[in-house]
Amino acid sequence: MIDWSNLIERLHLFERVGAERYNELNAEHLKQQTVATVNGHAIRRVQTRFGEIYFVSGTDCAFALLSDARAFARGLS
């Protein structure tokens, strides 16, 4: 498996397997990283150089705490 946070590894995977298979693998990765869905927004665990954060899909917002990500997503329409 690859480190999905590493752009170079993702590029090599894309070159090895092609666009269609890459998209399938990426979708599976995103599904596995989803820890909650709130108000139609998937909340995904993301590993960064600063540690683990929770990204709210459809936004450009991420939070250190899952509870904060959930609260933010509840406020979205």
Give the pLDDT confidence of 50-68 residue by residue, as tens digits.
899 999 999 999 999 999 9
Would you list the domain boundaries of the chain?
7-74
Helix (H, G, I), strand (E, B) or coil at 59: coil
Query: CA gyration radius for the chain?
Result: 14
Does the model's pTM come out above 0.85? Answer: no
Q: Encode pLDDT of 18-61 as tens digits.
A: 999 999 999 999 899 999 999 999 999 998 888 999 999 999 99
